[in-house]
Amino acid sequence: MNKEFIVPLYWSAPYQTEVIARITSVRKNELQFNQTLFYPGGGGQLSDTGSIIYLDEEFPIIETYKDEEGIWHKLDIKKNITFQENQDVLLRLDWSKRYSYMKPHSAQHLLSHLFHKMNNCDTEKANFDELRIEIELSKNLAVNQILKVVNETNRIIEQGAEVRSIIVDQEEYSKEYLSRTRGKKSKEGFVRLIELGGEEGFDLVCCGGVHVKNLSEIKGVFLESKKEHTLKFLVNQKGLLFANEQRGLMLKLEEITTKKGEKLLEIVENKIKENEILQFNSVNLLRLIFQNIQPYCKKINGYSFTSFTLPEIDRLHIQSAAKELDSDIFVAIHGRNEILYLISTNGKLPANEITNTLIEKIGTKGGGNKGFAQLSIKNVKEPLQLVEEIISSL
Ligand SMILES: [Zn+2]
């Protein structure tokens, strides 16, 4: 390997928290050193923070980043001070923060490996913070498939596996490693590889991040959420808290339904189906009412008006049934979740104008257009009566 390549300390000694370094460059409140422990961010991992001790004084390092000139350490400086090049300083890493990034990042390597191995599914994107891993997969997997991967991840974590850092030049990389590298290939002069499983490694990727020495340090991974291709996982203490909170919710649900496990799932699915049928029937009924609404309308101030309470029907269904209304009619509906819906087919009586008057009067939120508007009527007494009063006072 070419001897000119200096391996950064965050690669060669990821558990080292302090080092003496020499200032090599100064740019306003940003410094460069001959060596650094600070990871400059990238690959979904945030940059390191910490502090420097310069002439017996400590200054916080609030950000680290890399540009074409090298790695810059941004300082938070409250007073007027000039940093001298060639001066020795002590660099001190915020270790608890760094270590809490290393764990989810390393866990992501394992998760991505298993998604690939068990489901032939690639990781398109990955991000981390102290507690959470976010992975965007190339496929929309079923919850059961994801849980199998999570179980296998936790089994390997429990068993432990070495995480090895390998740095080679492009020639050696192409010859020895390229063919068995998962994910993106590297074109850099020097390639940093991370292998899970030590000597008989089972996963190899190009990665410039910082990792734990052994996967057993992670403790455990918990599935937090799934939205199509995007999965979120929690690690460590936060993960345990989350898992217990979720279990608490399930226990409450079990209490309400007096069912457990698959039976609980069945009863919830049945209830949803029943509700869909009820909604469907209610909408049909509402359509019928809207088609034959004239006899139920009264004249207020010359306008055809009617109102009713429908606590079981939501906005979309009311809107869809409202298409059946004849012209020159104004309807007020006290609907689900204390929402008042105003529907107008009378151009002279726009629904949004009446809504605005009501909003002014009762101090609430709402909006809409000439034909359909809605507003919240929490704690409002006799809202339908109020609409009548407004129309009669026009
Ligand atoms: Zn990595």
**DSSP-assigned states of every residue in 241-305:** HHHHHHHHHHHHHHHHH---HHHHHHHHHHHHHHHHHHHHHHHHHHHHHHHT-GGG-EEETTEEE
| Ligand 1 centroid – CA 140 distance (Å) | 23
Residue 46 has pLDDT above 60, yes or no: yes
**Domains of the chain, start order:** 9-93 (2.40.30.130), 99-256 (3.30.980.10), 293-392 (3.10.310.40)
189: three-class secondary structure by DSSP = coil
Question: Do 180 and 194 meet the contact criterion of CB atoms below 8 Å apart?
Answer: no
Give the closest residue to 15 by CA, choosing from 72, 98, 104, 107: 98
DSSP 45: B
| Ligand 1 centroid – CA 218 distance (Å) | 14
| Ligand 1 centroid – CA 137 distance (Å) | 17
Neighbours of 367 (CB within 10 A): 11
The DSSP bridge partners found for residue 127 are 134
| Ligand 1 centroid – CA 4 distance (Å) | 24
| Ligand 1 centroid – CA 191 distance (Å) | 13
Residues whose Cβ atom is located within 5 A of ion ligand 1? 207, 209
DSSP 120: -
| Ligand 1 centroid – CA 227 distance (Å) | 24
| Ligand 1 centroid – CA 71 distance (Å) | 19
Distance CA 151, CA 143 (A): 12
- Mean pLDDT across the stretch 26-39? 94
| Ligand 1 centroid – CA 296 distance (Å) | 69
| Ligand 1 centroid – CA 194 distance (Å) | 7
- Name the residue with tokens 């690669």: 11
First to last CA, the chain: 88
Question: Do 352 and 368 meet the contact criterion of CB atoms below 8 Å apart?
Answer: yes
Q: What pLDDT score was predicted for residue 317?
A: 86
Neighbours of 149 (CB within 10 A): 24
Buried/exposed code over 337-356 (b: 16+ C-beta within 10 A; e: otherwise): eebbbbbbbbeebbbbebbb
| Ligand 1 centroid – CA 98 distance (Å) | 13
Neighbours of 133 (CB within 10 A): 24
Distance CA 38, CA 171 (A): 28
Q: What pLDDT score was predicted for residue 32?
A: 96
| Ligand 1 centroid – CA 182 distance (Å) | 12
| Ligand 1 centroid – CA 207 distance (Å) | 5
Residue 4 has pLDDT above 70, yes or no: no
Distance CA 270, CA 254 (A): 15
- Mean pLDDT across the stretch 263-274? 91
242 vs 101 pLDDT, higher one: 101
| Ligand 1 centroid – CA 8 distance (Å) | 15
DSSP 167: E
Question: Do 57 and 70 meet the contact criterion of CB atoms below 8 Å apart?
Answer: no
- Mean pLDDT across the stretch 203-222? 94
- Which structure tokens are listed for 49? 């923070």
Distance CA 125, CA 35 (A): 30
- Mean pLDDT across the stretch 155-162? 96
| Ligand 1 centroid – CA 186 distance (Å) | 13
- Which structure tokens are listed for 345? 């087919």
Q: What are phi and psi of 92, to 5 degrees?
A: -130, 120
| Ligand 1 centroid – CA 105 distance (Å) | 6
- Mean pLDDT across the stretch 316-333? 91
Q: What pLDDT score was predicted for residue 191?
A: 94
- Mean pLDDT across the stretch 252-276? 90
Buried/exposed code over 178-195 (b: 16+ C-beta within 10 A; e: otherwise): beebbbeebeeebbbbbb
Q: What pLDDT score was predicted for residue 2?
A: 46
| Ligand 1 centroid – CA 229 distance (Å) | 21
Distance CA 269, CA 257 (A): 12
Q: What pLDDT score was predicted for residue 168?
A: 94
One-letter amino acid for residue 289 of the chain: I
Burial of 249 (0-12, 13-18, 19+ CB in 10 A): exposed
| Ligand 1 centroid – CA 204 distance (Å) | 10
Verdict on whether the full-model pTM lies above 0.85: no
Average pLDDT, rounded, for the chain: 92
Q: pLDDT tens for residues 349-363?
A: 999 999 999 999 988
Q: What pLDDT score was predicted for residue 1?
A: 47
